[in-house]
Amino acid sequence: MPPNAKLGNQLEYHVPTGAVTFLKQHPKLTRVFNDANWGPYLIFALGPSHKVFIDGRYDIYEYSGVFQDYLSIIHVAPGTSALLEKYRVDSCLVPREGSLATLLAATPGWKPIYEDNLSIIYAHTPGGSE
């Protein structure tokens, strides 16, 4: 197997390559909440057309208070839905097996629009309609 193909196969196990392809095909999804571990890859793969919620530069996010909000959201603390509204998040790209994915699956107004073995994207449907 050529080195680039082997690298591509390895990426699929660690970063959401399929979800990135989906986001490129759906450019209206611009306010994406993402797992912090995937932030640097998202910046690299999506470029400036998509803003990330958070990346690996935690100190910058800590000073502005965003890091604490990120932790509250990703760990499904009380007020998670209000924080997603505060940031006007229109979709969430999160690990499939994570707590936030479980919450969104049970929350009216959120529906899965993409899923693979690693990640899932939930889209917010205004007014809670499906």
CA atoms within 13 A on the CB side of 92: 30
Mean pLDDT of 105-112: 96
Q: What percent of the chain has pLDDT over 90?
A: 68
- Encode pLDDT of 11-59 as tens digits: 665 899 999 999 999 988 889 999 999 999 999 999 887 888 999 888 8
- The residue among 111, 107, 108 whose CA lies nearest residue 120 is 111
